[in-house]
Amino acid sequence: MNWAEALESPSPSALAWRLLVARTNRVAVSRCLELYRVLSSSQADAVLLRYRLGLPEAKAADVMGRQPEDFGCLLRSAVRSFAA
């Protein structure tokens, strides 16, 4: 992928997040194995962005290329799943 394509995409930050996850997924899983065992990768990513990296929900949603309300639902379901 080149920069022009990335910048023309509907959400460059979401594209960057997907590329980062694809490159670092093995490292993230090894460090947060329990989180990724219990949750889907999207849920685990949401938890990491919000609680580990401390991003506000709106920014974390933007990074993942999701609407804020969708991200909120994803995060709440992740917390419920992890607590169960």
Average pLDDT estimate for 30-51: 83
Q: Which residues touch 68 (CB under 8 Å, ≥6 apart)?
A: 57, 58, 61
- Per-residue confidence (pLDDT) for residue 71, from 0 to 100: 96
Q: What is the mean pLDDT of the chain?
A: 82
User: Is 0.85 surpassed by the pTM of this model?
Assistant: no
Q: Is the dihedral of CA 77, 64, 46, 41 positive or negative?
A: positive
- Within 10 angstroms of residue 24's Cβ, the number of other Cβ atoms is 11
Beta strands in 1-84 (DSSP E): none
